[in-house]
Amino acid sequence: MKKLIVGQSGGPTSVINGTLAGVYYEAKKKGFDKVYGMLNGIEGLLQERIIDLDDYFQDKNNLELLKRTPSSFLGTCRFKLGGFEKNEETYEKIFKILDKHSIDSLIYIGGNDSMDTVESLSDYALLKKKKQNFIGVPKTIDNDLPITDHCPGFGSACKYIATTLREIIQDNNCYGDTKPTIAIVEIMGRHAGWLTASSALAKDETCEGVDAIYLPEIPFNIDTFVKETEELLKKKSSIVIAVSEGIKTEDDQFICELTDNNLLVDSFGHKELSGCAEILSKVLKEKLNVKTRAITLSTLQRAAAHLASKTDLEESYHCGMKGADLAYQGQTGKMVYMSRISNNPYKIKYKVFDDIHKIANIEKKIPLEWIDVDNNYVKEELIDYLKPLIQGEVKQIYKDGLPQHISLKK
Amino acid sequence: MKKLIVGQSGGPTSVINGTLAGVYYEAKKKGFDKVYGMLNGIEGLLQERIIDLDDYFQDKNNLELLKRTPSSFLGTCRFKLGGFEKNEETYEKIFKILDKHSIDSLIYIGGNDSMDTVESLSDYALLKKKKQNFIGVPKTIDNDLPITDHCPGFGSACKYIATTLREIIQDNNCYGDTKPTIAIVEIMGRHAGWLTASSALAKDETCEGVDAIYLPEIPFNIDTFVKETEELLKKKSSIVIAVSEGIKTEDDQFICELTDNNLLVDSFGHKELSGCAEILSKVLKEKLNVKTRAITLSTLQRAAAHLASKTDLEESYHCGMKGADLAYQGQTGKMVYMSRISNNPYKIKYKVFDDIHKIANIEKKIPLEWIDVDNNYVKEELIDYLKPLIQGEVKQIYKDGLPQHISLKK
């Protein structure tokens, strides 16, 4: 009897359940007799909150629904295990629970912190001669994990952002030259601008695209921003600007945390401001006397499974399969990743990374040479990198006009 | 030679171009030799900004793209013509331009104000013995026009809202019972709660639905709201609340305009607040000490053509066709509308309303008997009314992973 347990961790994505589906499918195919799910990641495992995935997914239709369900089917957590020198009790508790259920392998789907958990558990098992092996499978919409060419979950978020921006650009243009209108669209990514950069994908021969892109990789200056927008207004009336939630000044101050200071003293008295789009929208309205609107994509960009990229979903699924394969082989302390062979035709390989500690706590930012600083835009190389990731549409399962999901509660 | 001119007015929707497509198709079919478009509605007509729609839509592929393009292809305006007693010069200018281009008929696609424009122009033409006739075709995501069973544009906005809420409900639930989380989703509709009510459609056997719906038809009390949410938190950890941007207190004060007062004095110092979801989210965080998040659907709900309802698009198209038919018949001062024959099977009839003045300045709100005040929800009758409007999906035309649109500039 070989038994596997799988968990999900960190912020959800619209295809993280695709990875879960891949793990389940391949694990059963390879020969695991049981595939368990831990609820709310390691936090739930510690409380022995475990389900048998056969109860949900022996029905193939449910597995198809799972692939199309956003957020983490098993629930997630933000649990830091910490080093085992200081937390041996927690480690022992985990292994006691794994032993109790005769679990051989553990797969953890997540971002930086989750990969750290995988490595720590694996190291501890080797040290203490435990029988279990541990595999990590990456996910994050932020695309800030090193080693892997890109992260499962990122492509679907890009597809949502680019699609939505096309629609916002059409909407914003409805007054044409009769009324200058500026929309500022705030996009996720506190430290890395990958998601915000994907707004550049909106542009093609049928869409003029966004007019400026402000990334956290480049220091942001409000005065310069106002001047640059004023220049844009001389050329066109409908302006759509993409900003990262993480833009900050040269002094490392987040724009979204700006409060009473010389620049903003009259307009803003409140400390807990909602976001940088809101702030910048008010600044432009005041300084340039134009109609402005702040649009914050919020969690929609990580949950819009109805706009998932087929490429991304397939890759997420394959990363899950690869994880199950490695787990079955008994490998441990390793992470699945994707390596790009070529852009055109787009080709990737699924690989195995041995030294997970290198991944935790490193944030992969956009290479500066891919950013067109002078024009507040991104360079062709970055667009070429992004384009393959949003290709293809996932056929949704509609009922009564709405996409169907699956959830634990039902 | 018979000539028609068509214009779009008011806030855009994701299917208002479907109506334009219906007007063009039927006008050509009936025998209009020319179909012109006025840019930015009456405002553009007064500047003689006119295009020949043949230049764009003789190619049938472009007509299919038009149906799938959100916002107003011709551009829009918010222009009040005013009574002709005081503005005769403007009226004469319009007729001079119509005469110059030998235009026989004018179709105006819009909401309350636009219908007023149609009636005024028609009245003036009859009084002054002008040859032109005028027809109105309704649109508005707000669904607040009287006479018509529902408005073209509304169903697609409902489909977007219900789909997005399903995804938000999944996302919000990712921490399960480990971390109570409240999402407050702000939905458009300043005076009528139709759009916010459509959040109820998210619920079915696979989705638990939103936990409370706050409509502008019912006075809103912040203390009661906090208590009601506290009660919800006793029963479940993941809570999603739909609020209309237009909720207001018993004293008729919009929640989104609340500022320094006894209730909010410590948290809010700033007058120009971003919206009621933001305010309520902060109140709950402070009073109940839970994780909260404000999500504002903003213009996405009126521009998300990629999620258009097939029923809504077809109805919008047919309303446009009916308008062209009436125009060709030489009828004037009339508005196309929809009358519901039955819910199940869903059946409507396209009809003609004679007395447009009755439409302008009346806002159709949700009947109070369709609201479940005690449970902050809506009644079955309202769900039965809404359900048919979101049925069916519009096959998008994708290229390189993104839906294609058509625009004047390209």
Residues B291, B176 share a domain: yes
Give the pLDDT score at A301. Answer: 96
Q: What's the rounded Cα separation, in Å, for the pair B141 and B151?
A: 7
Give the pLDDT score at A274. Answer: 58
| Contact yes or no for A14 and B167 at CB 8 A | yes
Burial zone of B177 (CB within 10 Å; 0-12 exposed, 13-18 middle, 19+ buried):
middle
Q: Is A266 on the interface with B (CB under 8 A)?
A: no
Hey, what are A147's tokens?
């080693």
Q: What's the rounded Cα separation, in Å, for the pair B243 and B241?
A: 6
* B113 found inside a domain: yes
**Could you tell me the sign of the dihedral formed by the alpha carbons of A312, A314, A317, A318, in that order?**
negative
Q: What's the rounded Cα separation, in Å, for the pair A181 and A293?
A: 8
Q: Of B380, B167, B48, B233, whose CA–CA distance to A402 is shortest?
A: B167
Q: Of B97, B90, B91, B55, whose CA–CA distance to B73 is shortest?
A: B55
Q: How far is B143 from chain A (nearest CA, A)?
A: 19
Q: Which of A171, A270, A410 has the CB atom closest to B302's CB atom?
A: A171
Phi (first) and psi of residue A301, to 5 degrees: -70, -20
H or E element at residue A41:
helix A41-45
Give the pLDDT score at A190. Answer: 87
Q: How far is B344 from chain A (nearest CA, A)?
A: 13
Q: What is the mean pLDDT of residues B22-41?
A: 98
Q: What's the rounded Cα separation, in Å, for the pair B66 and B394?
A: 13
Give the pLDDT score at B110. Answer: 95
pLDDT at B33 over 90: yes
CB B18 within 8 A of CB B313: yes
Give the pLDDT score at A44. Answer: 97
Residues A299, A190 share a domain: yes
A-chain residues near B43 (CB < 8 A): 178
As beta bridge partners, residue B295 has B185
CB A22 within 8 A of CB A316: yes
A-chain residues near B309 (CB < 8 A): 401
| Contact yes or no for B305 and A69 at CB 8 A | no
Point out the domain boundary residue: B271, B288, B303.
Answer: B303
* A385 found inside a domain: no
Cβ–Cβ contacts within 10 Å for residue A48, how many?
13
* B115 found inside a domain: yes
Q: How far is A250 from chain B (nearest CA, A)?
A: 27
Stretch 185-204 of chain A: residues touching chain B, C-beta under 8 Å: 201-202, 204
* A78 found inside a domain: yes
At B184-230, the pLDDT tens digits run 999 999 889 999 999 999 999 989 999 999 999 999 999 999 999 99
- If you count them, how many residues does chain A have? 410
Q: Which residues of B68-89 are buried (b: 16+ CB within 10 A; e: fewer)?
A: bbbbbbbbbbbbebeebeeeee
Nearest CA in chain A to B392: A401
| Contact yes or no for A303 and B183 at CB 8 A | no
* A18 found inside a domain: yes
Q: Of B286, B193, B277, B189, whose CA–CA distance to B241 is shortest?
A: B277
Q: What SS3 class is residue B323? A: helix
A-chain residues near B172 (CB < 8 A): 71, 299
Q: What is the mean pLDDT of residues B100-123?
A: 95
Give the pLDDT score at B257. Answer: 81
Give the pLDDT score at A355. Answer: 83
Residues A158, A147 share a domain: no
Cβ–Cβ contacts within 10 Å for residue A375, how many?
12
Q: Is B78 left (phi over 0), alpha (psi -120 to 50) or beta?
A: beta
Point out the domain boundary residue: A276, A303, A330.
Answer: A303
Domains of chain B: total? 2
The residue among A245 and B359 whose pLDDT is bigger is A245
Q: Are strands A402-403 and A105-110 parallel, antiparallel or unpaired?
A: unpaired
Residues B298, B159 share a domain: yes
Cβ–Cβ contacts within 10 Å for residue A302, how many?
28
**Which sequence positions of A are flagged as catalytic?**
142
Q: Which of A51, A174, A181, A387 to probe by mutation at the B interface, max B CB count within 10 Å?
A: A174
Q: What SS3 class is residue B310? A: helix
| Contact yes or no for B77 and A175 at CB 8 A | yes
Domain of A202, CATH number, reads 3.40.50.460
Give the pLDDT score at B275. Answer: 86
Residues B142, B68 share a domain: yes
Residues A149, A210 share a domain: no
Stretch 99-158 of chain B: residues touching chain A, C-beta under 8 Å: none
* A182 found inside a domain: yes
Which DSSP symbol is given to A373? Answer: G
A-chain residues near B282 (CB < 8 A): 272
pLDDT band of residue B357 (cuts 50, 70, 90) is confident
Stretch 334-363 of chain A: residues touching chain B, C-beta under 8 Å: none
Q: What's the rounded Cα separation, in Å, for the pair B303 and B286?
A: 34
Domain of A115, CATH number, reads 3.40.50.450
Nearest CA in chain A to B68: A167
User: Tens-of-pLDDT digits for all 410 residues of chain A?
Assistant: 999 999 999 999 999 999 999 999 999 999 999 999 999 999 999 999 999 999 999 999 999 999 999 999 999 999 988 889 999 999 999 999 999 999 999 999 999 889 999 999 999 999 999 999 999 999 999 999 999 999 999 999 999 999 999 999 999 999 988 999 999 999 999 899 999 999 999 999 989 999 999 999 999 999 999 999 999 999 999 999 999 999 999 999 988 887 543 344 333 333 444 589 989 998 999 999 999 999 999 999 999 999 999 999 999 999 999 999 999 999 999 999 999 999 989 999 999 999 887 777 788 999 999 999 999 999 999 999 999 999 999 999 999 999 999 998 74
Q: What's the rounded Cα separation, in Å, for the pair B110 and B11?
A: 8
CB pairs under 8 A between A and B: 215
B-chain residues near A390 (CB < 8 A): 400-402
Cβ–Cβ contacts within 10 Å for residue B191, how many?
14
Q: Is B13 on the interface with A (CB under 8 A)?
A: no
Residue with tokens 């902060």, as numbered in its chain: B282
Give the pLDDT score at A112. Answer: 86
Q: Is B227 left (phi over 0), alpha (psi -120 to 50) or beta?
A: alpha
SS3 labels along B93-114? HHHHHHHHCCCCEEEEEECHHH
Burial zone of B286 (CB within 10 Å; 0-12 exposed, 13-18 middle, 19+ buried):
middle
Residues B237, B101 share a domain: no
In the predicted model, what is the mean pLDDT of chain B? 93
**Could you tell me the sign of the dihedral formed by the alpha carbons of A203, A209, A212, A217, in that order?**
negative
Please give the angle made by the CA atoms of B312, A183 and A143, to the nearest 5 degrees: 90
Q: Is A293 on the interface with B (CB under 8 A)?
A: yes
Q: Is B302 on the interface with A (CB under 8 A)?
A: yes
Residues B165, B294 share a domain: yes
Q: How far is A399 from chain B (nearest CA, A)?
A: 9
At B52-89, the pLDDT tens digits run 999 999 999 999 999 999 999 999 999 988 889 999 99
Domain that holds residue A281: 154-303
Task: Name the amino acid, one letter, at B47.
Answer: Q
A-chain residues near B182 (CB < 8 A): none
In this prediction the ipTM stands at: 0.95
Nearest CA in chain A to B165: A300
Residues B278, B162 share a domain: yes
Residues B141, B266 share a domain: no
Q: Is A268 on the interface with B (CB under 8 A)?
A: yes
Q: How far is A371 from chain B (nearest CA, A)?
A: 22
Which DSSP symbol is given to A50? Answer: E
Residue with tokens 């097939």, as numbered in its chain: B310
Q: Which of B175, B300, B396 has the CB atom closest to A76's CB atom?
A: B175
Q: What is the mean pLDDT of residues B289-298?
A: 95
Q: Is A48 on the interface with B (CB under 8 A)?
A: no
Residues B162, B143 share a domain: no
Proportion of chain B in helix, strand, coil states, percent, rounded to 5: 40, 20, 40
Sequence-ordered list of residues with C-beta below 8 angstroms from that of A47, at least 6 positions apart, any chain: none
Residues A179, A144 share a domain: no
Q: Of B6, B21, B7, B11, whose CA–CA distance to B313 is shortest?
A: B21
Give the pLDDT score at B274. Answer: 57
| Contact yes or no for A170 and B402 at CB 8 A | no
pLDDT band of residue B248 (cuts 50, 70, 90) is very high
A-chain residues near B70 (CB < 8 A): 167, 170-171
At A219-262, the pLDDT tens digits run 999 999 999 999 999 999 999 999 999 999 999 998 888 754 33
Give the pLDDT score at A259. Answer: 58
CB A175 within 8 A of CB A238: yes
Q: Which residues of B331-363 are buried (b: 16+ CB within 10 A; e: fewer)?
A: bbbbbbbbeeeeeeeeebebeebeebeebbeee
Q: Which of B76, B178, B312 to probe by mutation at the A interface, max A CB count within 10 Å?
A: B178
pTM of the model: 0.96
Q: Which of A73, A160, A167 to probe by mutation at the B interface, max B CB count within 10 Å?
A: A167
Q: Is B207 on the interface with A (CB under 8 A)?
A: yes
Q: What SS3 class is residue B49? A: coil
Point out the domain boundary residue: A258, A281, A303.
Answer: A303
Q: What's the rounded Cα separation, in Å, for the pair B404 and A206?
A: 7
Distances (CA, A) of A316 to A14, B17, B290, B365: 10, 37, 32, 46
